Amino acid sequence: MDDNLELPTATPKPEASQDREEEEQSSGDEDQGPDWTKIPGLNVARPVIPKRGEKDFEPTAQGGSGLQRHVLDRSRSAMLEALKATRTISHKSVSHAIWYPQLKRAHVTVARGIHFSTMGHSVARASAESEGAKKVQKRLELLPEEALYLVERGAMYCWEPTDLPLHHTVHLDDMEGVPMSVQQAYAEMIGADELTLERYEVYAYLRRLGYVVTRTKPPSPEYPVPPPFPSVTRASASIVNRLLNTVTSFLSQFVRIFTGGRDWWRPICFSRWLHYNMSNKSLFKSLRFLPSGYDVPLHVQRAPEAPSTPYQIFYNLYKPSTPFKKTAPPLPDFSVVIVNARTTPMPTIAELTDLFGELPELPPPAPRKRMSFAQQKQASASAPQSKQTAPQGPAIQPWSFRRSLAWIWPLPQTNENAKSPARPTNPFPSLKTGKKMVVVAAVDAGTISFFRFGQGVFTEWPMA
């Protein structure tokens, strides 16, 4: 019964994880509006709030039957009651900050609550003392979007420094400034330091869901940045691998010399005596003679005087479960690009290639382990403890060539492979996620659509 009155939190509810792949693309719960009956906002004695029911397909032909009208009125009044309630916060848990328009930062004077474990950064500023000696002090400062988010939430009071004489008020006698209203905060902070309305909307939306959002390009030198992405390290080619590489390339060149270079009118030749192209596998392999993939140079000409592209990574996104340290942020889970959907078209391949150039390669997705029911129950019972060990699980698997040679030279068996040695790796999860991923948020007058652009890996997973 009390589940209805629970405060909404950012921690995800434990869900059965089967069939996630298909549900990922459907809109589902997220697109339906908030459940007005579950929002606590009523200070008065709570009236009976009806549970959310099934939606009727259409109004009855006679036009608004009594039952339908009654149900509609009930839901509407629940919504209006929830919206009418005043939002309050205890003065012991509210924070205070002063907004400096020239610096474009808000300096937090009183910090309360859990927000500041993931927001704000410390900056050393010289504070002028009355005697003339300058002291350098470190203080907590917020970016415009962080300050605006907290003000909008009602968790922070923002003040503006002023020269006007101030009255002393109860509880607020140590503030030096005039309070800013939310409208004033919006007016001042949107436009400050590269913060557009679209970027703020994406920031606020993701923060409300519980993600930690930081900027990729530090706006000032004191802004903490995550370590650079690890450079792409191909699986270390052992001596045997390199030897086999050279042998096969030598053989193909030999055949080519023998047949007089690639004849463009007959690109595939079959040689029965040399056993060349005499099986489906080798035939398909020799069919792949046209350039493809991202290793081939992209010759698209770019106009040198073109304005800088809006497709640059703006935010780093960390999942709520990632342990985040403000002073030493870890590697981001997602990289977000924000564009205005009405003025900016889709990214071109040149822009996408540039974006992919900055991003690391993702490890191939771990295969779904098939467990019996008893094992599943056991696994879910011990899931919280094993969450930390999960990220280290799937090691970087060696890519295509090494794997294709596995029939001669078996791959070193890892723990997971030892359990199911006969099962070949399923290519589809890897094909569907791609090698590198960038998230593009297209904001269309308030509606945000997120897309994941992944670098395709079809050349590495041939079907034959």
Partner 1 sequence: MSLITPTRHKGSQKGGARRAENNKIYAHPLPLVFSAPEPHSKFGHVLGLFGPNTRLENPHCEGIFDPATRSVWVTNEKDSMILWRRGFFGKGNLSRSEPSWLARQINARKAAGKYMTSEEIREKRRAERKQFKMDRAAAIAKAAAEAEAAFAEGREAGPAFIPSGATWKPQPSSELSLPSEPLEDQSMDVAEELEPLEDVEHLQLTLQEAFFLIWNLDCLTVLDPHTHEPMSLRETWQTFQDVHCIPPGLPVYAHRFDNPFLVNYAAYHYYRSLGWVVKGGIKFCVDLLLYKRGPVFHHAEFAIVVIPVYEDPADKESSPFNLPNADTFSWSWLSTINRVNAQVQKTLILTYVTIPAQSRVSADLLSSPACLAHYSVRDVVLRRFIPARMRD
**Using CB under 8 A, which residues numbered 2 to 31 contact partner 1?**
10, 12, 22-26, 29-30
Binding to partner 1 in span 191-250, by CB under 8 A: 205-206, 209-211
Tell me: does residue 462 bind partner 1 (CB under 8 A): yes
* Tokens 């006679």 sit on residue: 62
Q: Which of 234, 288, 325, 419 is close enough to bind partner 1 by CB under 8 A?
A: 288
Q: Burial level of 405, CB count in 10 A (0-12/13-18/19+)?
A: middle
Q: C-beta of 219: minimal distance to partner 1 in Å? A: 23
Question: What is the enclosing helix (H) or strand (E) of 392?
Answer: none
251 part of the interface to partner 1, by CB under 8 A: no
User: What span, in angstroms and rounded, lies between the C-alpha atoms of 341 and 448?
Assistant: 9
For residue 83, the minimal CB distance to partner 1 (Å) is 22
> How many Cα atoms sit within 13 Å of 281 on the Cβ side?
2
Angle between helices 144-153 and 182-189 (to 10 degrees): 160
**What's the gap between Cα 337 and its chain centre?**
10
* The one among 132, 221, 261, 291 contacting partner 1 by CB under 8 A: 291
Subset of residues 265 to 284 that bind partner 1, contact rule: CB under 8 A: 265-268, 270, 272-273, 275, 278-280, 283-284
Residue 123 CB, shortest distance to partner 1, in Å, is 29
The nearer residue to partner 1, 134 or 423, going by C-beta atoms, is: 423
Rule CB under 8 A: say whether 36 interacts with partner 1: no
- Cβ-based nearer residue to partner 1, 106 or 440: 440
- Phi, psi at residue 20, to the nearest 5°? -65, -35
Q: Measured between alpha carbons, how far is 71 from 62 in angstroms, rounded to an integer?
A: 17
Q: Is 359 in the site for partner 1 (CB under 8 A)?
A: no
Nearer to partner 1, 230 or 384 (CB): 384
Give min distance, CB of 443 to partner 1, in A. 10
**Angle, helix 144-153 to helix 197-209, in steps of 10 degrees:** 60
Residue 408 in contact with partner 1, rule: CB under 8 A: no
Interactions with partner 1, residue window 377-396 (CB under 8 A): none
Q: What is the CA radius of gyration of the chain?
A: 30
Write out the binding residues for partner 1, residues 114-173 only, by CB under 8 A. none
Q: Give the Cα separation of 53 and 32 in Å (integer).
A: 13
Looking at 79-87, 159-167, 372-380, 455-463, which segment touches partner 1 (CB under 8 A)?
A: 455-463
Q: Which two tokens stand for residue 315?
A: 């935010």
Residue 409 within binding range of partner 1, rule CB under 8 A: no
Helix (H, G, I), strand (E, B) or coil at 85: coil
CB of 58 to partner 1, least distance (A): 10
Nearer to partner 1, 10 or 110 (CB): 10
Q: Which of residues 414-453 bind partner 1 (CB under 8 A)?
A: 428, 431-434, 439, 442, 444, 449-453
Angstrom distance (rounded) from CA 42 to CA 77: 12
CB of 131 to partner 1, least distance (A): 52
Phi-psi region of 319 (alpha: psi -120 to 50; beta: other; left: phi over 0): beta
CB of 64 to partner 1, least distance (A): 11
Please list every residue from 296 through 355 that binds partner 1, using CB under 8 A: 296, 298-301, 303, 319-321, 334, 341, 345-349, 352-353
Q: Which tokens belong to 452?
A: 């994941």
Q: Which residues of 328-363 are buried (b: 16+ CB within 10 A; e: fewer)?
A: ebeebebbbbbbebeebeebeeebbebbbeebbbee
Residue 260 falls in which region: left (phi positive, over 0), alpha (psi -120 to 50) or beta: left
Considering beta carbons, is residue 12 or 224 the nearer one to partner 1? 12
